[in-house]
Chains A and B, each alone.
Chain A
Amino acid sequence: MVSHEVMGNTLLLRLRGDLDIRGAQELRLAAENLLRGGTGRSVILDLTGVEFVDSSGLGAILGRYRQVLDSAGRMAVYGASPRVASLLEVAGITGIIPLHESLDRALAYVKER
């Protein structure tokens, strides 16, 4: 469900499947373990493989944003399907965590600081 890659100061989390209560727990655990180890200060979520998101998943995304704020990093999301993107928008998440079209754009965003 969650795999990761470290790119300098940035932690890239690639999610697969459904980001519901179960996926949310996996995302939270992965991010907490990896960020505690000082793996990166900014986080990029790759939602390319995510087919479904509900409010538990949105909560987990927002939880990672809070975590990143605590370590003075930035957070970006890319690869959201139109359906997932519109849910993020309805929930007001895109106002604080911008959606990007590609990993390159997301990386450029978290580095611009």
Chain B
Amino acid sequence: MDLDRPDNMMRLEFLNLPANVGVARNAVATFAAQAEFTLSDVEEIRLAVSEAVTNAVVHAYPGRRGWVRVNARLSGSLLELTVDDDGQGIADVALARQASYTTDPERMGLGFSFMEAFSDRLEVGPGPAGGTRVFMVKQPAAVPREEGSSSA
């Protein structure tokens, strides 16, 4: 990350309860609305956050409670998001990221596909202290995406 002057940052921590997925996506969407995102960008952010947090809620801590953390950082019009948990981790990230990969017939296996489709960058792997970290970047659709461009 080359952004040393964030305009705003937000940190959320909550239990892995389904009700908190909505709390997280709505908080991040409200946070992101400070920047130059279009309504459609904000909807994509809402969806990407929902998918990442749902993954943590469903998979990180089988049969037990645990914490999920969301960090949001706004620098100019660039939004960086991390979703962290301290859970069991993903055994095979490449496999999990394949479209339609799922462990549950009631699920579509589209979580990572949606995160990828609705963000500008997606990284998935172990977190610095174990568990899983999902890192996403989102830029407003109108901002040129060349390296080093600045809209501030």
Contacts and interface: CB of A to CB of B under 8 A. Distances in A.
A56 interface: yes
A55 B43 contact: no
A54 B106 contact: no
Q: Is the interface of A mostly helix, strand, loop or mixed?
A: helix
B43 A54 contact: no
A25 B19 CA distance: 11
B114 A55 contact: yes
Interface string A42-60: 0000000000101110111
Nearest to B117: A90
A83 B39 CA distance: 11
Contact of B18 (A21, A62, A87): A21
B106 A20 contact: no
Q: Is the interface of B mostly helix, strand, loop or mixed?
A: helix
B51 interface: yes
25 contacts: A20-B21, A20-B22, A20-B25, A21-B18, A21-B21, A21-B58, A22-B18, A24-B106, A28-B106, A52-B47, A52-B50, A54-B51, A54-B54, A54-B114, A55-B51, A55-B111, A56-B54, A59-B102, A59-B106, A59-B107, A60-B106, A63-B105, A66-B105, A91-B108, A91-B110
Given A55-B114, A58-B110, 4 more contacts: A20-B54, A21-B57, A52-B46, A54-B50
